Structure 1
Amino acid sequence: MRKRFASRPVLGLSLALCLSLPALAASPSPARLQQLANDPYWLAIGHYETGKLGGWRSYVDDDDFFLSPDGPHDPAAELSATLTALYRPVNLGDKHPQCVFPARTRWLRDQLQLNDLPQPACGEFTTWYRDIAPHSSVLIFPAAYLNSPSSMFGHTLLRIDQADIDQNGTALLSYALNFGAFIEGSDNSILYAWKGLMGGYPGLFALLPYREKLSEYSRLENRDLWEYRLNLTPEETGRMVEHVWELKQIQFDYYFFDENCSYRLLELLEIARPGLELTDDFPITAIPVDTVRAIKDAGLVERIDYRPSRERELLERAKPLSDNELQWVKTLAADTQPLQSAEFQALPAERRALVQDGAYRLLRYQANGQERDPAAAQRSYQLLRAINQNPPTTLDVERPKLPEDGHDSRTWQLGVGSRDDRAFAEYGLRMAYHDLNDNLAGFPLGAQIEILGLKLRQYENNHWQLQELDFATIRSLTPRSQLLQPLSWQVAGGFERVPGKDGDETLVAHLNGGAGASWQLTDSTLAFAMATGRVEHNSDFAPYLATAGGFNTGLLWHNALGTASVEGAGDYFLNGEVRRRLSLNQQWQLGQNLGLRLSALREFSHLTGPENEVMLQLKWYHY
């Protein structure tokens, strides 16, 4: 929790506390009440942080959460109102403050020895808590999924398990605790991203059966799933779940980069185990994988389990198959009649087993997220029968590197170079979080997500210029195979320097994108080719907006030193301007969070002659 314990005037505030309390058997002293109002647990349970101009403010954006009108910005006033409310008549039933705020009640009762409290029944809370039966907690991290704006950085949620989870393997009977944006209607991807960045959605906690959450996240079938079993005690897990009851239908502000799913779960863990202060490390952004790393560094992780996605399992099963056998996989997924054909039966039994299993996995993959198809269900049944009669060897998917072992998300860059014999220094900051040449451990080859990047250049004679202000650059280079034919795509927008008249560089605003295909040439080599389009505002052009079509193609190679790339691109504008570029990059991985990159660039433009640029860049990753 981002908080500091500043001294505050005690006398008047404490007097107000005392006057508002009922006559207790042993009334707490004003100093004791003030101490409780500043206690880390009380501040955590009220989601308070220090305000930008001093004092306090709560992250909770909902008056129903507070018992005092001053509660959103005054922890002491909320403490006073809570103590008074706990003594309300029991005939309020489930609306009694003790029933609405069980975590507050338990903590204040323990701290002040409130043995004379009324005893409302709280039937709704008791039944709810008994059904959940919290005993232990698991942090769930679905890996990043570029094809969904809400999942580009991954996601985190908590699974609340019962006592017998390991013995009975009943994870699907557990409950999922999730924080997310509440969206009414169906906003498109661009509107979702914008409103998520600007706090346009309220955020809500939800606790629901884990199997329902898995069904809701159908995209999880195409995303690896990491499970981090936490070492929270049953008491700590129960304390956290009590507070979740207090937050049902309570709205928070939701921001995509900081006050998001991962940040809110860190707050809950601080309530489960007071003193953790996990949120202190995230004053600006809270990228999910960084929060996973923080939880692990805090010593909360007891065990890590890996569940490969259906896509990864399918591709692993397909690896040992020949082209002819892969064709059989596609055939049988579309029509199971050839199962009994002489041609298929002529294959050795162990090869038929692998093909049948591959066909069944392909059929399941294709059905993911689709409405139930009776014909597909019948084919699945026939394949399962064939698999039962001729079982394949066990599929063993190698566990990839842990996502938290990758580099941190924020990047500082310092470069020196030369552009057409003009020396320069370049200074850069990128808020998040990975490009194609960055240190690859923990990231898939061919995935790039860059958000809010700034580059400043200092040329000779102390000439400074803004080189680039990148709002977002996203590239998804997912390789095609005989079984899967995904589309590769990219989109970028912001301000950048391009070749201008008389050898100058012109700062332009741009939005560009493209789509095409990628191919895995070897385990460490990826080739791609895309058709592209560009819209640009350029002071050298007569039209306010100029449009262009073009291409972008290249090769990625993960080698012993790091990652190398060679890339060619061209833009052909409707006004006659032609712009082409050829770039070469090699990054040396000096450590998990340190890289050295050598870049060479040659640019061609109708407005000026060819220009060459070479730069050596040191990159430091942190969050």
Structure 2
Amino acid sequence: MYKYLELAQQKNLARHPVWSGLLHVSNGRPNIHSRQFLLTADSFSLVAELNATLKILYSGEVNQQCRFPARYLWLRQQLDLPELSLQDCTEFQEFKTRAPATEISLAFASENLAQPSSMMGHIFLKLRGLDSNGNPLEHAISFFTDAGGINIPRLFYESMVVGKTGYFSLSPYQEKIALYLGEEQRSIWEYSLKLSDFQKELIQAHLIELRQTDLVYFFQKYNCATVIDFVLSLAATESLNNTGFWLTPKDVVKRAEKLNLIEQSRLISPNRWLIRALREQLPSDQSKAIQEDIDALRLPEVTQLEPNQAFLQLQLAKAYLAYQTETATPQDKRVGVQSNSLKSKISHELQEKYPSHVLQVLEQKNPIESPQDSQIAIGLTRRNEQNYLRMSLTPASHQLDDDNRQYFSETELLLFDVSILKDLRSRQILLDQFTVYSAKSLIPYDAMSGGISGTFRIGVAPQYDAQLRSHKAAFIEGGLGITHRAGHDLDSFALLGLGVRWQSGRAQLYTQPEIGFILREVFDMKSRISVVMKSDLAGNGQSHMHFRFVQSKYFKSKDVSLHLSIDRIRSREKTLSQFEFSLKKMF
């Protein structure tokens, strides 16, 4: 045994990225503290855990390799250890039989702003193989927590400070597809991974180690992204540092790309977005005719059309019929024999008459191409005839004025966004605003698939009185509305919002309807114009109108952008103007 301990030390295995991945260690600290998982939980170090693992594997105790099958497989490969049988490891063998892993893929489900735990998307594994009878099997491996309820402050406290119970699940892959595509209308990207047979077995063995361990979920440091990233590190030959504040699901996809682990990718689009993409490729009168045909449970007549147009119309009819089925209530009589019969007829038409046509839509919305999720900005601000240096930091996600072309609509998602002002004359440093959480989704309304826009914010920001004097106040506000898309490049939106602020020891209700336009321009630019009318319901005159114009320019690196903003805030008594020019860096 001592020669293997010495050889491990000579090869510096404790510092190997795979060993850190097996222990879920980042920056020298373990993310799992369970004594089921760590042998040196009371005095942990990478070296001590490696030595303790070698000793317990060859201590003479029966089937210790079944407790740590992944550690055993990797250490045996690195040190040419004596073989220990895994055939008697019942749980491991049962798992390999139940969820064969001839192919392993990353699966990314797009953002769902309605669910806090999935507001930056969800990443999980897809395992594919054949059972003993040669039948194909597909399973999803996922790590998550219970994020139910609407008490967002409590959810943040529990998931970021004390931790929540983490669940590591194995489920049929089609159940995940049905949930994300059907119920939640979220897109799924699949990335098949280039892995050796040993790496696949190592990952399977490690998944068993995790399944028999108590895991604690932390939103910012141990979530679905970090767990899957540790699993992927078992196939890595180098460590990748996390440049943001915490790892997001999109970061995992990007890291897999940097490590050259992705073999190929494919997008599975929900019918809601497929309808929108197809409608953009067809004249409005054709789309309307398809809608009328499907509403009447009638097969569209496309024989007189050019083949590609006919193919697109039938695909639209198929997607619209499927979307109606997914969103129908149990009492809806349309979901029955007639709709199933029509679905079969449309599928038959596509297979018989257009077998060589391939549907290619939405492929450009690849998470790999999206900007990074953390950002910092610095700018010069002139406000109320005073000059400031403004610095802002967003630890996670993106703003409405950022480059959102890799999203299916214009969105904003901010977590713990903070900005400070430095008075260039007095050198005084002031807190400008602090946003705990902000979500804004401007989904264009579609006649066939609907679409409601919405916003929700909670934080601390300047609130203005009748004289436009600024006072910091905590607030919670939200709103609903509608967005219209004219062509590919122009969105107009209207939101009706309601909020409450806490100022001078009391709560004050206010309304704030908003209208605006977003124009996506040539040369990688975007303009936004918005008007907000904030009115205090107490009738104390604290009402004002806020006009805002923002011009943004994105550079080819995707991580740098310039922004010019002009604000005018007007009350009955006074007008306040603000100008700002800022440089933003995504990281």
C-alpha distance in structure 2 between counterparts of 1:232 and 1:434, whole Å: 33
**Larger CA deviation: 242-251 vs 355-364:** 355-364
The aligned runs of 1:366-445 (5 Å cut-off) are 366-368=324-326, 375-387=334-346, 390-391=349-350, 394=357, 395-445=359-409
Tell whether 2:198 aligns with 1:222.
no
SS in 1 for 2:122: coil
**Larger CA deviation: 443-452 vs 526-535:** 443-452
SS in 1 for 2:574: strand
Deviation of residue 547 (structure 1)?
0.5
| Residues 25-70 of structure 1: per-residue CA shift (max 9 Å, x gap) | xx437644656773434443222345xxxxx642114332244664
**Larger CA deviation: 420-429 vs 498-507:** 498-507
- With over 3 angstroms needed to count, the CA separation of the structure-2 counterparts of 1:116 and 1:527, relative to structure 1, is closer
In structure 2, what residue type is equivalent to 1:617?
S
C-alpha distance in structure 2 between counterparts of 1:544 and 1:29, whole Å: 69
Do 1:134 and 1:161's aligned partners in 2 also have CA atoms closer than 8 Å? yes
SS in 2 for 1:38: helix
Do 2:33 and 2:41's aligned partners in 1 also have CA atoms closer than 8 Å? no
Superposition TM-score, scaled by structure 2 size: 0.87
- With over 3 angstroms needed to count, the CA separation of the structure-2 counterparts of 1:397 and 1:218, relative to structure 1, is closer
**Larger CA deviation: 35-44 vs 501-510:** 35-44
In structure 2, what residue type is equivalent to 1:272?
A
* Residue 550 of structure 1: aligned partner: 512
- With over 3 angstroms needed to count, the CA separation of the structure-2 counterparts of 1:193 and 1:348, relative to structure 1, is farther
Tell whether 2:320 aligns with 1:362.
yes
Q: From 13, 17, 22, give the equivalent of 1:45.
A: 22
- With over 3 angstroms needed to count, the CA separation of the structure-2 counterparts of 1:188 and 1:573, relative to structure 1, is closer
C-alpha distance in structure 1 between counterparts of 2:70 and 2:158, whole Å: 33
Deviation of residue 605 (structure 1)?
2.9
Deviation of residue 117 (structure 1)?
5.2
The aligned runs of 1:72-221 (5 Å cut-off) are 76=48, 79-80=51-52, 83-84=55-56, 86-88=58-60, 90=62, 96-111=63-78, 113-115=80-82, 121-162=88-129, 173-181=137-145, 186-188=148-150, 190=152, 192=155, 195-198=158-161, 200-218=163-181
Q: Kindly, what percent of the aligned residue pairs are identical?
A: 21
| Residues 292-337 of structure 1: per-residue CA shift (max 9 Å, x gap) | 222212222222323333222222333455555544444444442x
* Residue 605 of structure 1: aligned partner: 571
C-alpha distance in structure 1 between counterparts of 2:109 and 2:324, whole Å: 20
Q: From 198, 206, 215, give the equivalent of 1:235.
A: 198
SS in 2 for 1:587: strand
* Residue 226 of structure 2: aligned partner: 263
Deviation of residue 151 (structure 1)?
2.2
C-alpha distance in structure 1 between counterparts of 2:444 and 2:499, whole Å: 24
Tell whether 2:264 aligns with 1:291.
no
In structure 2, what residue type is equivalent to 1:560?
V
C-alpha distance in structure 2 between counterparts of 1:155 and 1:215, whole Å: 15
C-alpha distance in structure 2 between counterparts of 1:118 and 1:71, whole Å: 30
SS in 2 for 1:379: helix
Tell whether 2:3 aligns with 1:28.
yes
* Residue 478 of structure 2: aligned partner: 513
- With over 3 angstroms needed to count, the CA separation of the structure-2 counterparts of 1:283 and 1:80, relative to structure 1, is farther
Do 1:472 and 1:494's aligned partners in 2 also have CA atoms closer than 8 Å? yes
- With over 3 angstroms needed to count, the CA separation of the structure-2 counterparts of 1:220 and 1:263, relative to structure 1, is farther
Deviation of residue 600 (structure 1)?
0.4
SS in 2 for 1:63: coil
C-alpha distance in structure 1 between counterparts of 2:482 and 2:85, whole Å: 68
* Residue 31 of structure 2: aligned partner: 59
Tell whether 2:457 aligns with 1:492.
yes
Tell whether 2:502 aligns with 1:537.
yes
Do 2:109 and 2:180's aligned partners in 1 also have CA atoms closer than 8 Å? no
In structure 2, the gaps of 5 or more residues are none
SS in 1 for 2:555: strand
C-alpha distance in structure 2 between counterparts of 1:133 and 1:115, whole Å: 26
Deviation of residue 515 (structure 1)?
0.5
Deviation of residue 538 (structure 1)?
2.5
C-alpha distance in structure 2 between counterparts of 1:63 and 1:563, whole Å: 53
In structure 1, what residue type is equivalent to 2:3?
P
**Larger CA deviation: 33-42 vs 198-207:** 33-42
Q: From 278, 292, 295, give the equivalent of 1:317.
A: 278
In structure 1, the gaps of 5 or more residues are 1-23, 51-55, 91-95
**Larger CA deviation: 224-233 vs 208-217:** 208-217
C-alpha distance in structure 2 between counterparts of 1:475 and 1:317, whole Å: 25
- With over 3 angstroms needed to count, the CA separation of the structure-2 counterparts of 1:193 and 1:209, relative to structure 1, is same
CA RMSD, Structure 1 to Structure 2 (Å):
3.3
In structure 1, what residue type is equivalent to 2:417?
G
Do 2:419 and 2:431's aligned partners in 1 also have CA atoms closer than 8 Å? yes
In structure 2, what residue type is equivalent to 1:276?
E
In structure 2, what residue type is equivalent to 1:212?
E
Larger C-alpha radius of gyration, 1 or 2? 1
Do 1:199 and 1:253's aligned partners in 2 also have CA atoms closer than 8 Å? no
* Residue 451 of structure 1: aligned partner: 415
| Residues 409-430 of structure 1: per-residue CA shift (max 9 Å, x gap) | 1111111121232222111111
Deviation of residue 454 (structure 1)?
1.1
SS in 1 for 2:460: strand
- With over 3 angstroms needed to count, the CA separation of the structure-2 counterparts of 1:400 and 1:57, relative to structure 1, is closer
* Residue 463 of structure 1: aligned partner: 428
- With over 3 angstroms needed to count, the CA separation of the structure-2 counterparts of 1:385 and 1:163, relative to structure 1, is closer
* Residue 619 of structure 1: aligned partner: 584
- With over 3 angstroms needed to count, the CA separation of the structure-2 counterparts of 1:511 and 1:99, relative to structure 1, is same
Deviation of residue 132 (structure 1)?
3.3
SS in 2 for 1:376: coil
* Residue 208 of structure 2: aligned partner: 245
SS in 1 for 2:388: strand
Deviation of residue 145 (structure 1)?
2.7
Count, aligned residues: 569
* Residue 304 of structure 1: aligned partner: 265
- With over 3 angstroms needed to count, the CA separation of the structure-2 counterparts of 1:299 and 1:347, relative to structure 1, is closer
Do 2:15 and 2:46's aligned partners in 1 also have CA atoms closer than 8 Å? no
| Residues 484-524 of structure 1: per-residue CA shift (max 9 Å, x gap) | 22111001111112334765422121111110100002211
Deviation of residue 283 (structure 1)?
7.0
In structure 1, what residue type is equivalent to 2:197?
P
| Residues 174-231 of structure 1: per-residue CA shift (max 9 Å, x gap) | 3322222256xx5347355554344542223333332233234345872232222222
SS in 2 for 1:64: coil
- With over 3 angstroms needed to count, the CA separation of the structure-2 counterparts of 1:108 and 1:298, relative to structure 1, is closer
| Residues 446-486 of structure 1: per-residue CA shift (max 9 Å, x gap) | 21111111111122222321111111221111011221221
**Larger CA deviation: 238-247 vs 358-367:** 358-367
Do 1:516 and 1:529's aligned partners in 2 also have CA atoms closer than 8 Å? yes
- With over 3 angstroms needed to count, the CA separation of the structure-2 counterparts of 1:346 and 1:144, relative to structure 1, is closer
